[in-house]
Amino acid sequence: MKLIFVYNADAGWLGAAWDSAHKLISPKTYRCSLCAVTHHALGMKKRWARFIEGLEHDIEFLHRDEAKERYDLETVDWPAVLKEDEKEARIWLNSEELAHAETIEQLEALIRERLDHENTSIP
C-alpha cells in the first residue's frame, strides 16, 4: 500500500513562491490545509517529517497537477490523501477531513485512526 499526499497547489518554482507568499500574507485564506499544517516558509516541519518516516508504508507527495496527470481524478477537491494498491488509487482522506486537522497532532491522529481502522499498525 502506498499513501500519496496531494497538495492543493501546482508543481514548479512559481507555484511554490506564490503559495509561500500567500501563506505568509493571508494564512486564513490559504487554500491548502495540508500545506498549512505540515509546512512552514522554509519547507516541511520536522515533526511531520519524523512522523512520515515512521510510517510502515510507501509515501509519496504530489501536487494536484501531477496527481491529475497520473490518475483519473478530475473531480477531486484537493488537498487529499490517496491510497494506491496495485496501480489503482482512491481517496483515502478527503479535503474536508484534512481541513478538520488544524495541527500536526490532529493530522497524525487522523492518519493513525484510519490506519488502525484498516488493521494496519504504525509505531
State whether residue 43 is helix, strand or coil: strand
Spacing of C-alpha 31 from chain mean position:
13
Domain ranges of the chain: 2-117
pTM assigned to the model:
0.81
What is the predicted pLDDT for the residue at 100?
95
CB 92, CB 82: distance < 8 Å: yes
Judged against a pLDDT cut of 50, whether residue 121 lies above it is answered with no
The 10 Å CB-count burial string (b at 16+, else e) for 29-52 is: ebebbbbbbbbeeeeeeeebeebb
pLDDT digits (tens, 9 = 90+) for 11-58: 765 555 555 554 555 555 446 778 888 987 778 999 999 999 999 899
The pLDDT confidence band at residue 86, using thresholds 50, 70 and 90, is: confident
Better pLDDT: 33 or 2: 2
